[in-house]
Amino acid sequence: MNRLHLAPLLTLVLCLASAANAAPTWEQIAADDRLRPHEVKLLKDATLPLEGPEGAAGSFTLKAGSLAAVDSASGNSLTIRFPGRVTLPGIDRKMFAEAEAGPDGRAGRAVLKDTVRVQIAGPDGEPGPVLELKSGGVFAASAVSESSVTLALPPLSGPVPWQDTNVLEAAIPLAQELQQDLAQRAENAAQAAQEARLEDAAATATAVGDDPAKAVPVETITVKVNTSKTHQVIEGFGTCLLSWNRDIQAFYQTKEFEKAYMDDFGFNVLRCELAPQSFPEPVDKPEDIKASKLVMDNITTTFIQFAKTLKKKNPEAKIIGTVWSPPAWMKHTNSIGDPPLKAGNRSGAINYNTYNNTQNYVKKEFYPHFVQWLVETAKLYEKEGAGLYAISPGNEVLFTQWFQSCVWTAEDFSTICSLLDSALEKNGLGHVKIFGPETMTGHTFSNQPFLDVLLKGKGGKALDAFATHGYVDGIKGDAKAESSYEFWRLIEKEKKPYWVTEGGTGGHTWPEPLNGTAAFFHNNLVFGNASMVVPWQVVETKADEHAQMLLTGYTKKSHATMHYTRFVRPGSTRVQAEPAQGTVMSSAFIHPGHGTTIVIVNPRNAALTVNLAVSGKAPASLKMWRTSSKENTKEIEPPRRAGSGWEFVLPGNSIVTLQGS
């Protein structure tokens, strides 16, 4: 489409407004996460400042027609980034007033004496930005010799007016989606207002939340469970561990932690980092990599120690391993991270089909070495009594980070999964599953093309389980039902398990956990049909969204999580429960030994009367546990029998688990 036709079309979309169905503004469109990964083409030249480690160091110009990635957006502009890794090798040493290498392989410091102008290559060899490095500019030097200096430049990014790009092509369908979203929000607001009126009507009764046992219901809702309509089988729940905090590592070795992880939370899964430090020195031949030669570094030791404890108590426990980075020597960067991103602890991303903005990936000649290292790591875990249930060759394969990370295009990830599958089988480890690609759950725009390529290759057959992470961007948690459903829609036809192997789970202060960790488990289980849910961490020193408890003990978030992880046992089958969203969030499970388990979340302020109807094979009786503002997974009075079902009061801002056989 011609851009001259796009602008009036967007205006038309934006002007379709009414009181009930307001149109989104450009500011709302620009703030939407779905715009961020869009690759735009510049319609005009853009000259932007270049920042060095000590301030302004020059400028760069992107010519009209250049492609750039969108990092962020505002109402007036887009922050774009040139999608190439920028190093300038071989600049004459005489051009610098001073230049010195850094200690221990770190970047050094270089100060230009003269202004330098250079054009660098863009993706696929096309002309890239024109750089002007000013006299007196300070830069990071990745290499310094007597005759030349190699500069490592920061990412080339900066703001441009959105109308100077072709971003409108992405904004038109986005405007239509957001218009529907605004209409839904208006409907939700009206429903919330109605609920507020109901709460006001009950204000003369006991204050909701002051004493959950005395909460006065203002509405009746029917929850229907059909044990004959079955879905996925649950494999279990768990977390990863920290390997860089001594206090937490010491806690991992206590009986208190063992009880917390295995009994109170009921976790049966442990996600381990398969650490690159375990084989730090390069070898010529893959067969020179042996389990007996792997180093028991701090990371490997931390995970194997607790994995052994978990397997000893629960032989059916599942130990899954993820590679954040292969050993550094196998990668183009010769580093476990992405060195150009270290300044400012930054992140980057690739498209599914190109490495055009990073060198943080494995050299093809070392694919056999990488696979052999994984096989020998699996042998080590097995020898130590902590055999791996599954291996992921790559953590967040489209994200490159300053810390341990490694990116994979879809084609190369497919290749490595196929090679790993063959090697595991050849070495008597065919029982070890392969999972991935551990991308962001809600990033359909990048997940779909990645999966299309992966599944067409041999790696599609080798992959035993799909896995994603519940984040918006790798840090901020994503517990939305829409994200889970959209990913499940992409993989449903493959008839393979879906695991959520990392994610943020919201705050610890009540009632935040109801829309945080409870929503994370509920939406992944119900709308994503996930059979394994593994948030990022179990314990942290501060109350953030990345852990389930604190080093000082349990929080309200801990107890909300336990309503799922303690009661929904491995081997359970999810069955139909309604409503799954709306006034309450309902989910239900059946297990041959533990009977029927039903979890109901009321994230609203108003108390409800719940009429529970179970069809199919109904339990004879039910026990009930509740977490509210005053209670922590407390077993309370069982629900009352009401005809062929049950009835009970569900206080505002509470979660209950019912179980019976």
What mean pLDDT is predicted for residues 320-340?
A: 98
- Report the half-sphere exposure of 381 (CA within 13 A, side-chain side): 32
Q: Domain 236-566 maps to which CATH number in 3.90.105.10, 3.40.190.10, 3.40.50.720, 3.20.20.80?
A: 3.20.20.80
CA distance linking residue 51 with residue 59, whole number of Å: 8
DSSP 202: T
Structure tokens at 307: 């994995």
Q: Angle, to 10 degrees, between the axis of helix 481-491 and the axis of helix 444-456?
A: 20
pLDDT, tens digit (0-9, with 9 covering 90-100), for 277-328:
999 999 999 999 999 999 999 999 999 999 999 999 999 999 999 999 999 9
Q: Please list the alpha-helical segments (H only) found in 139-274.
A: 168-201, 246-252, 255-259
Structure tokens at 91: 């600049």
Name the architecture of domain 218-231+571-660: Sandwich (2.60)
With CA atoms as reference, report the closest residue to 573 among 602, 617, 531.
Answer: 531
Contact indicator for 219, 611 with CB cutoff of 8 Å? no
Q: At 156, is the pLDDT very low, low, confident or very high (cuts 50, 70, 90)?
A: confident
Q: At 161, is the pLDDT very low, low, confident or very high (cuts 50, 70, 90)?
A: confident
CA distance linking residue 573 with residue 173, whole number of Å: 38
- Predicted local distance difference test score (pLDDT) of residue 326: 99
Q: At 208, is the pLDDT very low, low, confident or very high (cuts 50, 70, 90)?
A: very low
Rounded to 10 degrees, the C-alpha dihedral 491/495/501/506 comes to 60
Least confident residue range of 61-65, 156-160, 170-174: 170-174
What mean pLDDT is predicted for residues 430-457?
A: 96
pLDDT, tens digit (0-9, with 9 covering 90-100), for 175-202:
666 666 666 777 777 776 666 655 554 4
Tell me how far the alpha carbon of residue 419 is from its chain's centroid.
26
In the chain, the amino acid numbered 384 is E
- Predicted local distance difference test score (pLDDT) of residue 82: 76
Residue 269's alpha-carbon distances to 233, 389, 574, 588, in angstroms, are 15, 9, 18, 21
CA distance linking residue 262 with residue 311, whole number of Å: 10
What mean pLDDT is predicted for residues 370-377?
A: 99
Structure tokens at 162: 């959105």
257, with CB counted inside 10 A (0-12, 13-18, 19+), is: buried
Q: Please list the alpha-helical segments (H only) found in 15-121.
A: 26-30
| pLDDT > 80? residue 47 | yes
Least confident residue range of 17-31, 361-375, 449-463: 17-31
Structure tokens at 520: 């994370």
Q: Angle, to 10 degrees, between the axis of helix 3-14 and the axis of helix 168-201?
A: 10
pTM over 0.75: no
CA distance linking residue 290 with residue 13, whole number of Å: 62
pLDDT above 70 covers what percent of the chain?
85
Give the residue extent of every domain in the chain: 1-45+164-201, 50-162, 218-231+571-660, 236-566
Contact indicator for 408, 400 with CB cutoff of 8 Å? no
- Predicted local distance difference test score (pLDDT) of residue 143: 82
For residue 511, whether the previous peptide bond is cis, meaning omega lies within 30 degrees of 0, is yes
Helix, strand and coil in the chain, % to nearest 5: 30, 30, 35
- Predicted local distance difference test score (pLDDT) of residue 6: 31
pLDDT, tens digit (0-9, with 9 covering 90-100), for 621-648:
999 999 999 999 999 999 999 999 999 9
With CA atoms as reference, report the closest residue to 323 among 397, 386, 414, 267.
Answer: 397
